[in-house]
Structure 1
Protein backbone atom coordinates (compact mmCIF):
# COMPACT_ATOMS: atom_id res chain seq x y z
CA UNK A 1 0.00 0.00 0.00
CA UNK A 2 1.30 3.46 -0.92
CA UNK A 3 0.21 6.84 0.45
CA UNK A 4 -0.76 9.46 -2.13
CA UNK A 5 -1.04 13.10 -1.00
CA UNK A 6 -3.03 15.23 -3.45
CA UNK A 7 -2.75 19.03 -3.61
CA UNK A 8 -5.21 21.02 -5.72
CA UNK A 9 -4.52 24.02 -7.94
CA UNK A 10 -5.63 27.63 -7.71
CA UNK A 11 -9.22 28.23 -6.61
CA UNK A 12 -10.02 24.55 -6.21
CA UNK A 13 -10.04 22.21 -3.22
CA UNK A 14 -9.68 18.61 -2.17
CA UNK A 15 -13.07 18.02 -3.82
CA UNK A 16 -11.56 18.15 -7.33
CA UNK A 17 -9.76 14.83 -6.77
CA UNK A 18 -12.89 12.76 -6.12
CA UNK A 19 -12.50 10.57 -9.22
CA UNK A 20 -8.79 9.94 -8.68
CA UNK A 21 -9.31 9.27 -4.97
CA UNK A 22 -11.83 6.56 -5.83
CA UNK A 23 -9.46 4.93 -8.35
CA UNK A 24 -6.47 4.93 -5.99
CA UNK A 25 -8.48 3.64 -3.03
CA UNK A 26 -10.04 0.92 -5.14
CA UNK A 27 -6.49 -0.22 -5.98
CA UNK A 28 -5.84 -0.57 -2.23
CA UNK A 29 -3.88 2.59 -1.50
CA UNK A 30 -4.13 5.32 1.11
CA UNK A 31 -5.07 8.81 -0.10
CA UNK A 32 -4.96 12.18 1.61
CA UNK A 33 -6.43 15.15 -0.27
CA UNK A 34 -5.83 18.49 1.38
CA UNK A 35 -7.44 21.92 1.21
CA UNK A 36 -4.88 24.72 1.08
CA UNK A 37 -5.55 27.93 3.02
CA UNK A 38 -8.81 29.68 2.01
CA UNK A 39 -9.59 26.83 -0.40
CA UNK A 40 -12.20 24.09 -0.48
CA UNK A 41 -13.83 23.91 2.95
CA UNK A 42 -10.96 25.65 4.75
CA UNK A 43 -12.62 28.39 6.83
CA UNK A 44 -10.04 31.06 6.16
CA UNK A 45 -10.85 33.73 3.59
CA UNK A 46 -8.53 34.77 0.80
CA UNK A 47 -7.79 38.10 2.50
CA UNK A 48 -6.38 36.15 5.46
CA UNK A 49 -3.61 34.64 3.34
CA UNK A 50 -1.73 37.94 2.86
CA UNK A 51 -0.26 37.05 -0.54
CA UNK A 52 2.23 34.57 0.88
CA UNK A 53 2.80 31.15 -0.60
CA UNK A 54 3.95 29.83 2.79
CA UNK A 55 0.67 30.85 4.43
CA UNK A 56 -1.31 29.38 1.54
CA UNK A 57 0.64 26.11 1.66
CA UNK A 58 0.59 25.76 5.46
CA UNK A 59 -1.90 22.83 5.48
CA UNK A 60 0.52 20.68 3.47
CA UNK A 61 3.50 21.64 5.62
CA UNK A 62 1.55 20.83 8.80
CA UNK A 63 0.56 17.46 7.39
CA UNK A 64 4.10 16.61 6.29
CA UNK A 65 5.47 17.58 9.71
CA UNK A 66 2.96 15.20 11.32
CA UNK A 67 4.35 12.19 9.47
CA UNK A 68 6.71 10.20 11.72
CA UNK A 69 10.42 10.57 11.03
CA UNK A 70 11.85 7.48 9.44
CA UNK A 71 8.36 6.26 8.56
CA UNK A 72 6.54 5.96 5.27
CA UNK A 73 7.41 8.11 2.30
CA UNK A 74 4.47 9.68 0.51
CA UNK A 75 3.84 10.35 -3.15
CA UNK A 76 3.18 14.06 -3.51
CA UNK A 77 0.88 15.07 -6.37
CA UNK A 78 0.36 18.74 -7.16
CA UNK A 79 -1.80 20.37 -9.81
CA UNK A 80 -1.16 23.72 -11.50
CA UNK A 81 -0.26 26.37 -8.88
CA UNK A 82 0.38 23.56 -6.39
CA UNK A 83 3.65 22.95 -8.19
CA UNK A 84 5.17 25.76 -6.14
CA UNK A 85 3.73 24.25 -2.96
CA UNK A 86 5.25 20.87 -3.83
CA UNK A 87 8.67 22.43 -4.42
CA UNK A 88 8.65 24.03 -0.98
CA UNK A 89 7.54 20.76 0.65
CA UNK A 90 10.35 18.89 -1.10
CA UNK A 91 12.88 21.39 0.25
CA UNK A 92 11.48 21.13 3.78
CA UNK A 93 10.75 17.38 3.96
CA UNK A 94 12.87 15.56 1.34
CA UNK A 95 13.22 12.47 3.53
CA UNK A 96 9.42 12.01 3.58
CA UNK A 97 8.77 12.09 -0.20
CA UNK A 98 9.41 9.17 -2.55
CA UNK A 99 8.42 11.08 -5.70
CA UNK A 100 6.81 14.43 -6.46
CA UNK A 101 4.37 14.49 -9.37
CA UNK A 102 3.65 17.79 -11.11
CA UNK A 103 0.41 17.96 -13.14
CA UNK A 104 0.53 20.79 -15.68
CA UNK A 105 2.29 22.72 -12.94
CA UNK A 106 4.93 25.32 -12.33
CA UNK A 107 8.03 23.31 -11.38
CA UNK A 108 10.85 25.34 -9.90
CA UNK A 109 14.43 24.25 -9.35
CA UNK A 110 17.68 25.48 -7.82
CA UNK A 111 18.46 27.17 -11.14
CA UNK A 112 14.89 27.88 -12.20
CA UNK A 113 13.48 30.54 -9.90
CA UNK A 114 9.94 31.70 -9.22
CA UNK A 115 10.58 34.90 -11.18
CA UNK A 116 11.82 32.99 -14.23
CA UNK A 117 8.90 30.56 -14.26
CA UNK A 118 6.31 33.25 -13.59
CA UNK A 119 7.68 35.44 -16.38
CA UNK A 120 7.71 32.58 -18.88
CA UNK A 121 4.15 31.61 -17.94
CA UNK A 122 2.99 35.16 -18.67
CA UNK A 123 4.75 35.03 -22.05
CA UNK A 124 3.46 31.63 -23.16
CA UNK A 125 0.04 31.29 -21.55
CA UNK A 126 -3.05 32.15 -23.62
CA UNK A 127 -5.08 32.04 -20.39
CA UNK A 128 -3.71 35.38 -19.24
CA UNK A 129 -6.93 37.06 -20.49
CA UNK A 130 -9.23 37.02 -17.43
CA UNK A 131 -12.42 37.21 -19.60
CA UNK A 132 -15.38 37.19 -17.18
CA UNK A 133 -13.19 36.57 -14.13
CA UNK A 134 -12.90 38.89 -11.15
CA UNK A 135 -9.55 40.40 -10.26
CA UNK A 136 -9.68 41.44 -6.60
CA UNK A 137 -7.79 44.47 -5.29
CA UNK A 138 -8.00 43.93 -1.53
CA UNK A 139 -5.42 46.63 -0.77
CA UNK A 140 -7.01 49.28 -2.96
CA UNK A 141 -7.29 49.95 -6.71
CA UNK A 142 -3.81 51.49 -6.91
CA UNK A 143 -2.08 48.46 -5.36
CA UNK A 144 -1.30 45.09 -6.99
CA UNK A 145 -4.19 42.59 -7.12
CA UNK A 146 -4.58 40.32 -4.13
CA UNK A 147 -6.80 37.55 -5.51
CA UNK A 148 -8.35 36.10 -8.64
CA UNK A 149 -11.74 34.42 -9.08
CA UNK A 150 -12.23 32.70 -12.46
CA UNK A 151 -15.62 33.24 -14.09
CA UNK A 152 -17.83 30.56 -15.70
CA UNK A 153 -16.78 31.42 -19.27
CA UNK A 154 -13.11 31.41 -18.30
CA UNK A 155 -13.46 28.00 -16.68
CA UNK A 156 -15.31 26.59 -19.69
CA UNK A 157 -12.88 27.93 -22.30
CA UNK A 158 -9.53 27.61 -20.55
CA UNK A 159 -9.78 25.18 -17.67
CA UNK A 160 -12.48 22.54 -18.25
CA UNK A 161 -12.56 22.58 -22.06
CA UNK A 162 -12.43 18.76 -22.41
CA UNK A 163 -13.99 17.82 -19.07
CA UNK A 164 -17.53 16.50 -18.62
CA UNK A 165 -20.15 19.22 -18.36
CA UNK A 166 -21.10 17.95 -14.89
CA UNK A 167 -17.59 18.65 -13.63
CA UNK A 168 -17.60 22.09 -15.22
CA UNK A 169 -20.80 22.89 -13.32
CA UNK A 170 -19.22 21.51 -10.15
CA UNK A 171 -16.24 23.82 -10.65
CA UNK A 172 -18.44 26.85 -11.34
CA UNK A 173 -20.25 26.13 -8.08
CA UNK A 174 -17.26 25.42 -5.82
CA UNK A 175 -14.26 27.40 -7.10
CA UNK A 176 -13.14 30.11 -4.66
CA UNK A 177 -10.85 33.14 -5.09
CA UNK A 178 -7.16 32.24 -5.06
CA UNK A 179 -4.48 34.55 -3.64
CA UNK A 180 -2.23 36.49 -5.97
CA UNK A 181 1.17 35.83 -4.44
CA UNK A 182 3.53 38.69 -3.81
CA UNK A 183 6.40 38.09 -6.25
CA UNK A 184 9.03 39.35 -3.81
CA UNK A 185 7.84 37.11 -0.98
CA UNK A 186 7.48 34.14 -3.30
CA UNK A 187 11.03 34.56 -4.57
CA UNK A 188 12.36 34.47 -1.00
CA UNK A 189 10.16 31.58 0.12
CA UNK A 190 10.84 29.27 -2.83
CA UNK A 191 14.65 29.10 -2.69
CA UNK A 192 15.57 25.48 -3.46
CA UNK A 193 18.78 23.51 -2.98
CA UNK A 194 20.24 20.41 -4.60
CA UNK A 195 21.03 18.96 -1.15
CA UNK A 196 17.35 18.79 -0.23
CA UNK A 197 14.91 19.47 -3.10
CA UNK A 198 17.39 17.91 -5.51
CA UNK A 199 17.34 14.54 -3.74
CA UNK A 200 13.63 13.93 -4.45
CA UNK A 201 12.56 12.16 -7.65
CA UNK A 202 10.29 14.23 -9.90
CA UNK A 203 7.72 13.28 -12.53
CA UNK A 204 5.83 15.69 -14.79
CA UNK A 205 2.42 15.14 -16.38
CA UNK A 206 1.75 17.02 -19.63
CA UNK A 207 -1.90 17.61 -20.59
CA UNK A 208 -1.96 17.50 -24.37
CA UNK A 209 -5.21 19.47 -24.88
CA UNK A 210 -4.14 22.14 -22.40
CA UNK A 211 -3.91 25.61 -23.91
CA UNK A 212 -0.78 26.16 -21.83
CA UNK A 213 1.01 23.34 -23.63
CA UNK A 214 3.98 25.47 -24.66
CA UNK A 215 4.59 26.41 -21.03
CA UNK A 216 4.45 22.79 -19.89
CA UNK A 217 7.08 21.73 -22.41
CA UNK A 218 9.24 24.72 -21.51
CA UNK A 219 9.21 23.58 -17.87
CA UNK A 220 10.13 20.01 -18.83
CA UNK A 221 12.96 21.15 -21.10
CA UNK A 222 14.40 23.72 -18.67
CA UNK A 223 14.12 21.66 -15.50
CA UNK A 224 14.13 18.05 -16.71
CA UNK A 225 12.26 15.69 -14.36
CA UNK A 226 13.24 12.08 -13.86
CA UNK A 227 10.38 11.21 -16.21
CA UNK A 228 7.38 12.77 -17.88
CA UNK A 229 4.09 11.43 -19.14
CA UNK A 230 1.69 12.86 -21.73
CA UNK A 231 -2.01 12.28 -21.02
CA UNK A 232 -3.91 12.26 -24.34
CA UNK A 233 -7.24 14.06 -24.46
CA UNK A 234 -6.63 15.92 -21.20
CA UNK A 235 -7.37 19.57 -20.50
CA UNK A 236 -6.03 21.53 -17.56
CA UNK A 237 -8.29 19.58 -15.18
CA UNK A 238 -6.77 16.22 -16.04
CA UNK A 239 -8.34 14.70 -12.92
CA UNK A 240 -11.74 15.33 -14.56
CA UNK A 241 -10.99 14.90 -18.26
CA UNK A 242 -8.85 11.73 -17.98
CA UNK A 243 -9.06 10.43 -14.40
CA UNK A 244 -8.45 6.77 -15.28
CA UNK A 245 -5.31 7.45 -17.33
CA UNK A 246 -3.98 9.77 -14.65
CA UNK A 247 -4.70 7.25 -11.89
CA UNK A 248 -3.04 4.47 -13.88
CA UNK A 249 0.12 6.55 -14.23
CA UNK A 250 0.11 7.42 -10.52
CA UNK A 251 -0.20 3.75 -9.65
CA UNK A 252 2.75 2.95 -11.90
CA UNK A 253 4.81 5.62 -10.15
CA UNK A 254 3.78 4.17 -6.79
CA UNK A 255 5.21 0.81 -7.81
CA UNK A 256 8.40 2.35 -9.20
CA UNK A 257 9.40 4.83 -6.51
CA UNK A 258 9.53 3.22 -3.08
Structure 2
Protein backbone atom coordinates (compact mmCIF):
# COMPACT_ATOMS: atom_id res chain seq x y z
CA UNK A 1 0.00 0.00 0.00
CA UNK A 2 1.29 3.45 -0.93
CA UNK A 3 0.35 7.01 -0.03
CA UNK A 4 -0.45 9.11 -3.10
CA UNK A 5 -0.88 12.88 -3.35
CA UNK A 6 -2.35 13.97 -6.70
CA UNK A 7 -1.67 17.45 -8.07
CA UNK A 8 -3.75 18.84 -10.93
CA UNK A 9 -2.56 20.85 -13.91
CA UNK A 10 -3.45 24.25 -15.33
CA UNK A 11 -7.02 25.51 -14.87
CA UNK A 12 -8.10 22.32 -13.06
CA UNK A 13 -8.51 21.36 -9.41
CA UNK A 14 -8.66 18.34 -7.14
CA UNK A 15 -11.99 17.59 -8.84
CA UNK A 16 -10.25 16.19 -11.94
CA UNK A 17 -9.12 13.14 -9.96
CA UNK A 18 -12.68 12.11 -9.02
CA UNK A 19 -12.43 8.76 -10.90
CA UNK A 20 -8.79 7.99 -10.15
CA UNK A 21 -9.09 8.31 -6.36
CA UNK A 22 -11.62 5.47 -5.89
CA UNK A 23 -9.80 3.35 -8.48
CA UNK A 24 -6.52 3.66 -6.57
CA UNK A 25 -8.27 3.13 -3.24
CA UNK A 26 -9.77 -0.03 -4.69
CA UNK A 27 -6.23 -1.25 -5.29
CA UNK A 28 -5.42 -0.75 -1.61
CA UNK A 29 -3.72 2.66 -1.64
CA UNK A 30 -4.30 5.82 0.38
CA UNK A 31 -5.01 8.73 -1.94
CA UNK A 32 -5.57 12.46 -1.58
CA UNK A 33 -5.80 15.37 -4.01
CA UNK A 34 -5.57 19.09 -3.28
CA UNK A 35 -6.53 22.35 -4.94
CA UNK A 36 -3.52 24.51 -5.67
CA UNK A 37 -3.86 28.23 -4.81
CA UNK A 38 -6.56 29.95 -6.93
CA UNK A 39 -7.83 26.61 -8.29
CA UNK A 40 -10.91 24.59 -7.41
CA UNK A 41 -12.32 25.80 -4.13
CA UNK A 42 -9.24 27.80 -3.19
CA UNK A 43 -9.93 31.54 -3.38
CA UNK A 44 -6.40 32.94 -3.49
CA UNK A 45 -6.42 35.96 -5.84
CA UNK A 46 -4.72 35.35 -9.18
CA UNK A 47 -2.35 38.28 -8.58
CA UNK A 48 -1.00 36.57 -5.44
CA UNK A 49 -0.22 33.20 -7.01
CA UNK A 50 3.42 32.19 -7.34
CA UNK A 51 5.33 28.97 -7.97
CA UNK A 52 6.56 29.14 -4.37
CA UNK A 53 2.95 29.31 -3.18
CA UNK A 54 2.13 26.19 -5.19
CA UNK A 55 5.16 24.43 -3.68
CA UNK A 56 4.22 25.41 -0.14
CA UNK A 57 0.62 24.22 -0.58
CA UNK A 58 1.90 20.81 -1.65
CA UNK A 59 4.36 20.51 1.22
CA UNK A 60 1.73 21.60 3.74
CA UNK A 61 -0.45 18.70 2.59
CA UNK A 62 2.23 16.06 3.25
CA UNK A 63 2.46 14.45 6.69
CA UNK A 64 4.35 11.31 5.71
CA UNK A 65 6.32 10.48 2.56
CA UNK A 66 4.12 10.29 -0.52
CA UNK A 67 4.23 9.35 -4.16
CA UNK A 68 3.64 12.80 -5.61
CA UNK A 69 1.84 12.78 -8.96
CA UNK A 70 1.83 15.96 -11.03
CA UNK A 71 -0.26 16.44 -14.16
CA UNK A 72 0.84 18.81 -16.94
CA UNK A 73 2.06 22.15 -15.46
CA UNK A 74 2.17 20.52 -11.99
CA UNK A 75 5.50 19.05 -12.98
CA UNK A 76 7.06 22.32 -11.89
CA UNK A 77 5.55 22.64 -8.40
CA UNK A 78 6.12 18.96 -7.57
CA UNK A 79 9.76 19.38 -8.56
CA UNK A 80 9.99 22.52 -6.43
CA UNK A 81 8.55 20.55 -3.50
CA UNK A 82 11.13 17.81 -3.99
CA UNK A 83 13.97 20.35 -4.07
CA UNK A 84 12.72 21.98 -0.84
CA UNK A 85 11.87 18.81 1.15
CA UNK A 86 13.04 15.61 -0.54
CA UNK A 87 12.43 13.61 2.62
CA UNK A 88 8.69 14.14 2.19
CA UNK A 89 8.54 12.49 -1.23
CA UNK A 90 9.21 8.83 -1.99
CA UNK A 91 8.78 9.29 -5.75
CA UNK A 92 7.78 11.94 -8.27
CA UNK A 93 5.45 10.87 -11.07
CA UNK A 94 5.19 13.18 -14.07
CA UNK A 95 1.86 12.55 -15.79
CA UNK A 96 2.11 14.07 -19.30
CA UNK A 97 3.82 16.84 -17.36
CA UNK A 98 6.61 19.32 -17.81
CA UNK A 99 9.63 17.69 -16.15
CA UNK A 100 11.77 20.76 -15.36
CA UNK A 101 15.23 21.54 -16.59
CA UNK A 102 17.05 23.51 -13.90
CA UNK A 103 17.19 27.22 -14.64
CA UNK A 104 14.23 27.17 -17.02
CA UNK A 105 10.57 28.14 -16.63
CA UNK A 106 7.60 26.17 -17.89
CA UNK A 107 7.15 28.73 -20.68
CA UNK A 108 10.83 28.36 -21.58
CA UNK A 109 10.31 24.62 -21.90
CA UNK A 110 7.11 24.96 -23.88
CA UNK A 111 8.98 27.09 -26.39
CA UNK A 112 11.37 24.16 -26.92
CA UNK A 113 8.53 22.15 -28.47
CA UNK A 114 8.60 21.81 -32.26
CA UNK A 115 4.78 22.05 -32.22
CA UNK A 116 2.65 24.48 -30.19
CA UNK A 117 -0.90 23.05 -30.12
CA UNK A 118 -1.92 25.00 -27.01
CA UNK A 119 -1.37 28.51 -28.33
CA UNK A 120 -4.60 28.83 -30.33
CA UNK A 121 -6.63 26.99 -27.68
CA UNK A 122 -6.32 29.54 -24.86
CA UNK A 123 -7.59 33.04 -24.15
CA UNK A 124 -5.42 35.54 -22.25
CA UNK A 125 -7.01 37.82 -19.66
CA UNK A 126 -7.13 41.55 -20.36
CA UNK A 127 -4.62 42.23 -17.56
CA UNK A 128 -2.27 39.47 -18.85
CA UNK A 129 -2.15 37.89 -15.40
CA UNK A 130 -3.92 34.66 -16.36
CA UNK A 131 -5.45 32.59 -19.13
CA UNK A 132 -8.36 30.23 -19.71
CA UNK A 133 -8.95 27.45 -22.24
CA UNK A 134 -11.15 28.48 -25.14
CA UNK A 135 -14.22 26.36 -24.42
CA UNK A 136 -14.89 25.96 -28.14
CA UNK A 137 -11.57 24.11 -28.43
CA UNK A 138 -11.43 22.42 -25.03
CA UNK A 139 -12.69 19.04 -26.17
CA UNK A 140 -10.36 18.69 -29.17
CA UNK A 141 -7.33 19.98 -27.24
CA UNK A 142 -7.71 18.44 -23.78
CA UNK A 143 -10.51 15.85 -23.76
CA UNK A 144 -10.97 14.39 -27.26
CA UNK A 145 -11.29 10.79 -25.99
CA UNK A 146 -13.23 11.57 -22.79
CA UNK A 147 -16.94 10.87 -22.15
CA UNK A 148 -19.33 13.75 -22.84
CA UNK A 149 -20.34 13.80 -19.19
CA UNK A 150 -16.73 14.24 -18.08
CA UNK A 151 -16.15 17.07 -20.56
CA UNK A 152 -19.24 18.90 -19.31
CA UNK A 153 -18.13 18.28 -15.72
CA UNK A 154 -14.71 19.78 -16.46
CA UNK A 155 -15.98 22.75 -18.45
CA UNK A 156 -18.23 23.73 -15.55
CA UNK A 157 -15.28 23.77 -13.11
CA UNK A 158 -12.32 25.16 -15.05
CA UNK A 159 -10.70 28.22 -13.46
CA UNK A 160 -8.18 30.75 -14.74
CA UNK A 161 -4.51 29.83 -14.70
CA UNK A 162 -2.08 32.37 -13.24
CA UNK A 163 0.79 33.23 -15.57
CA UNK A 164 3.45 34.04 -12.96
CA UNK A 165 4.14 30.44 -11.84
CA UNK A 166 4.63 29.45 -15.46
CA UNK A 167 7.17 32.15 -16.29
CA UNK A 168 9.17 31.60 -13.07
CA UNK A 169 12.50 29.85 -13.55
CA UNK A 170 13.14 26.94 -11.21
CA UNK A 171 16.58 26.08 -9.84
CA UNK A 172 17.05 22.39 -9.01
CA UNK A 173 19.97 20.67 -7.36
CA UNK A 174 21.09 17.62 -5.44
CA UNK A 175 17.96 17.46 -3.28
CA UNK A 176 15.74 17.14 -6.34
CA UNK A 177 18.11 14.68 -8.00
CA UNK A 178 17.96 12.43 -4.93
CA UNK A 179 14.23 11.71 -5.38
CA UNK A 180 13.14 8.76 -7.54
CA UNK A 181 11.16 9.75 -10.64
CA UNK A 182 8.80 8.20 -13.18
CA UNK A 183 7.27 9.62 -16.35
CA UNK A 184 3.91 8.65 -17.88
CA UNK A 185 3.61 9.73 -21.50
CA UNK A 186 0.13 10.16 -22.99
CA UNK A 187 0.63 8.97 -26.54
CA UNK A 188 -2.54 10.63 -27.94
CA UNK A 189 -1.94 13.99 -26.23
CA UNK A 190 -2.97 17.07 -28.21
CA UNK A 191 -1.74 19.58 -25.60
CA UNK A 192 1.87 18.65 -24.88
CA UNK A 193 3.20 16.87 -27.97
CA UNK A 194 3.95 13.20 -27.24
CA UNK A 195 7.34 13.49 -28.93
CA UNK A 196 8.30 16.25 -26.49
CA UNK A 197 7.05 14.11 -23.62
CA UNK A 198 9.40 11.40 -24.90
CA UNK A 199 12.30 13.84 -24.66
CA UNK A 200 11.39 14.64 -21.06
CA UNK A 201 10.86 10.97 -20.22
CA UNK A 202 14.32 10.17 -21.59
CA UNK A 203 15.76 12.04 -18.63
CA UNK A 204 14.33 9.36 -16.29
CA UNK A 205 15.60 5.79 -16.04
CA UNK A 206 14.25 3.69 -18.93
CA UNK A 207 12.40 1.31 -16.60
CA UNK A 208 10.67 4.30 -15.02
CA UNK A 209 9.05 5.55 -18.22
CA UNK A 210 5.58 4.41 -19.25
CA UNK A 211 2.97 5.04 -21.93
CA UNK A 212 -0.80 5.28 -21.73
CA UNK A 213 -2.82 5.64 -24.95
CA UNK A 214 -4.95 8.64 -23.98
CA UNK A 215 -5.40 12.35 -24.47
CA UNK A 216 -4.00 14.96 -22.09
CA UNK A 217 -6.73 13.94 -19.61
CA UNK A 218 -6.10 10.28 -18.70
CA UNK A 219 -7.95 10.81 -15.41
CA UNK A 220 -11.19 10.98 -17.43
CA UNK A 221 -10.25 8.97 -20.54
CA UNK A 222 -8.96 5.89 -18.69
CA UNK A 223 -9.06 6.30 -14.93
CA UNK A 224 -8.84 2.56 -14.28
CA UNK A 225 -5.87 2.16 -16.61
CA UNK A 226 -4.11 5.10 -15.01
CA UNK A 227 -4.76 3.71 -11.53
CA UNK A 228 -3.30 0.33 -12.50
CA UNK A 229 -0.24 2.04 -13.96
CA UNK A 230 0.26 4.07 -10.79
CA UNK A 231 -0.18 0.87 -8.78
CA UNK A 232 2.58 -0.73 -10.86
CA UNK A 233 4.87 2.25 -10.30
CA UNK A 234 4.22 2.07 -6.55
CA UNK A 235 5.06 -1.64 -6.33
CA UNK A 236 8.48 -2.32 -4.80
CA UNK A 237 11.04 -3.47 -7.36
TM-score, normalised relative to structure 1: 0.84
Alignment partner of 1:209 out of 185, 188, 213: 188
Q: Does 2:125 correspond to 1:136?
A: yes
Render the CA deviation track for 1:68-126: whole Å, top value 9, x for unaligned: xxxx421000000000011101101111211110011100144x7326523214x4332
Following TM superposition, by how much is the alpha carbon of 1:182 offset from its aligned partner in structure 2, in angstroms? 6.0
Q: Does 2:116 align with 1:125?
A: yes
Counterpart of 1:158 (choices 141, 150, 173) is: 141
2:162 matched to which residue of 1? 179
CA distance in structure 2 between the aligned counterparts of 1:33 and 1:92, rounded to whole angstroms: 20
Contact 1:164 1:241 in 2 (8 A): yes
Whether 2:26 is the aligned partner of 1:26: answer yes
* Residues 225, 86 of structure 1: alpha-carbon distance in 2 compared, 3 angstrom cutoff: farther
| Pairing partner for 1:62 from 60, 63, 76 | 60
Whether contact under 8 Å (2:124, 2:130) holds in the other structure is yes
Which residue of 1 is the match for residue 226 of structure 2? 246
Out of 107, 113, 123, the position equivalent to 2:99 is 107
SS in 2 for 1:125: coil
Residue pair 2:7, 2:35 contacting (<8 A) in 1 also:
yes
Q: 1:213-250: CA deviations, max 9, x gaps?
A: 122122223x2346111002x00001111111110011
SS class of match (2:11): coil
Cα distance per residue 1:32-91 (max 9 Å; x no partner): 101000001112232332xx2112443113223xx2xxxx42100000000001110110
Q: Which residue of 1 aligns with 2:150?
A: 167
Determine helix, strand or coil for the equivalent of 1:126. Answer: coil
1:175 Cα offset (Å): 0.2
The DSSP-based 3-state class of the residue aligned with 1:60 is helix
- TM-score, with normalisation over the residues of structure 2? 0.91
